Amino acid sequence: MAIMLKMDDVNVFYGAIHAIKGINLEVDQGEIVTLIGANGAGKSTTLRTISGLLKPKTGTITFEDKIISGQPAHKIVEFGISQVPEGRRIFANMTVMENLELGAYVRTDKNGIKEDLKRVFKHFPRLAERKKQEAGTLSGGEQQMLAMGRALMSSPRLLLLDEPSMGLAPLLIKEIFEIIKDINKAGTTILLVEQNANMALSIANRAYVLETGKITLSGSAKELSNSEDVRKAYLGG
């Protein structure tokens, strides 16, 4: 399988704090890769670096053989990477439809946008029911669906998901993860950051474990969920 995204010895700083310490990471086309780890390990920072919201101090990030590190966030969306930010960050005072339309902001192909809108409504029928509702009045789960649908509207080849389970009820988490699987089956590669390691490992092909800015373990999701260390640290025994 072709390598889609590659991080090569990437270092990121917040001022003087060395948040990401020389990360090497690969995502192959068609995979679901998950990044697990405790609070403050640098999971979100890694995602934000890929999507261009943060700039690495050293190291390169390549996407489909193009170097994307150092490019501004809006350019990276045009390359085909879309991020669902942590805490959803929907446009609360806009309608569901307007949120989705903004997701297609960088596109000009009207027919393609229509197709993708249909696709989003197929993944998330509840959004279709609430097209005209103000996004701020949706429930937490629906807002997460909207954030994911919005990200899909830019027709990304790589989708970055930051803590999709945050603040959701267990039943809803299950539903969201089923949808993530469906989106992946429909051809979108996914890099998933999650605290809920159990859920993440259950749908991922491969996983990386992050600890205080370094990758300490990596392997297939199956291997990792059977590993003694991971089970003790992240899976509750």
Partner 1 sequence: MNSLRKRDLKAIVISLIVFAIIQGLISSEFLDPFWQLNIIVICINIIMSVSLNLINGYTGQFSLGHAGFMAIGAYTGAVLSVNFHMPFIIGLIVAFAVAAIIGCLIGLPTMRLRGDYLAIATLGLGEIIRIVIMNVNYVGGAAGFMGIPKTTNFAWAFFVMLFVVFFIKNYVNSSYGRACVAIRENEIAAEAMGVNTTKYKVLAFTIGAGFAGVAGCLFAHTFYIIHPSSFTFLASFNYLIMIVMGGMGSITGSIAGAFILTTISALLSNWPELRMSIYALLLIGLMFYRPQGLFGNIELTSLPIFRHFKGGK
Residues that bind partner 1 (CB under 8 A): 51, 53, 72-74, 77-78, 82-83, 85, 89-94, 98, 101-103, 105-106, 150-151, 154
Name which of 34 and 51 has its Cβ closer to partner 1.
51
Q: What are phi and psi of 43, to 5 degrees?
A: -65, -55
Name which of 88 and 206 has its Cβ closer to partner 1.
88
Please report, to the nearest 10 degrees, the dihedral formed by the alpha carbons of residues 227, 231, 232, 234 taken in order.
130
Name which of 189 and 225 has its Cβ closer to partner 1.
189
Question: 3-state DSSP call for residue 86?
Answer: coil
Nearest approach, Cβ of 148 to partner 1 (angstroms)? 12
Nearest approach, Cβ of 77 to partner 1 (angstroms)? 3
Give the distance from CA 109 to its chain's centroid: 24
Nearest approach, Cβ of 26 to partner 1 (angstroms)? 23
Nearest approach, Cβ of 224 to partner 1 (angstroms)? 28
Name which of 143 and 225 has its Cβ closer to partner 1.
143
CA torsion sign for 131, 134, 139, 145 is positive
CA torsion sign for 188, 51, 165, 131 is negative
Please report, to the nearest 10 degrees, the dihedral formed by the alpha carbons of residues 140, 155, 189, 126 taken in order.
30
Name which of 143 and 189 has its Cβ closer to partner 1.
143
Give the distance from CA 113 to its chain's centroid: 21
Nearest approach, Cβ of 73 to partner 1 (angstroms)? 4
Q: How far apart are CA 228 and CA 28, in angstroms?
A: 26
Question: 3-state DSSP call for residue 127?
Answer: helix
